[in-house]
Copies of this chain bind each other. A is one copy, B any other.
């Protein structure tokens, strides 16, 4: 069975958390919107033509007739199926707990450049974006990253269980994204998150992931994405 991933074809976005699991687990999948005619199929899924639960937004994953939306739900499903999640119930729940906390960090990162209206351009809400970004750099980003660091201090080399899981891949992705979007703010945080940075370095050396990350399939960060670099928001 070939998984079908539906996500915007021009950005990493939330879809990238799913792509990283699919690639690291060597799953057979198609990134539908990047195929010929994919835009039409993506629109059909969003409008619910395929049946099953209606997605509110992308990413959406089809596993046969099973449909899943919401990044953490998709990645926990894939992780548990493909050896990228703890084997115990307590471990799986710990993984989901951290994955959902990372999803909150991603949502807050998005809101640094869209604090008022998701459907209006950044430039139209720039003053509020500067205010929200200052709070994000001062309080929220350090708090979330410190949270991940403390879980590593408690658990060991990985965030949950004893081997790399989908949660560690997600942690890698937020480090990459935040380093792109807020290089100056991240430079000030780095000294406080040595275990998290070491985890990032181990993740990036995983052969299949490294192969993906250096392939044309890995899109570049850009200013249509969740992680955006705007000088004026980086303090």
A94 touches B67 (CB 8 A): yes
List of B residues within 8 angstroms of A70 by Cβ: 96-97, 100-101
Binding stretch for chain B, among A3-11, A110-118, A175-183, A184-192: A110-118
Distance in Å: Cβ of A88 to nearest Cβ of chain B: 9
Which chain B residue has the least Cβ–Cβ distance from A154?
A: B54
Mark A22-63 against chain B: 1 for CB-CB distance below 8 A, else 0.
Answer: 000000000000000000000000001001111110000000
List of B residues within 8 angstroms of A52 by Cβ: 90, 94
The CA-CA distance from A198 to B56 in the complex, in Å, is: 21
Q: What is the predominant secondary structure among interface residues of chain A facing chain B?
A: helix
List 19 other contacts, CB 8 Å, given A73-B97, A116-B128: A48-B150, A53-B94, A53-B97, A54-B147, A54-B150, A55-B97, A56-B144, A66-B89, A66-B90, A68-B93, A68-B94, A68-B97, A69-B97, A69-B101, A70-B96, A70-B101, A73-B100, A104-B107, A115-B128
**A67-104 interface (Cβ within 8 A of B):** 67-70, 72-73, 77, 89-90, 93-94, 96-98, 100-101, 104
A116 touches B135 (CB 8 A): yes
Distance in Å: Cβ of A29 to nearest Cβ of chain B: 17
The CA-CA distance from A104 to B110 in the complex, in Å, is: 13
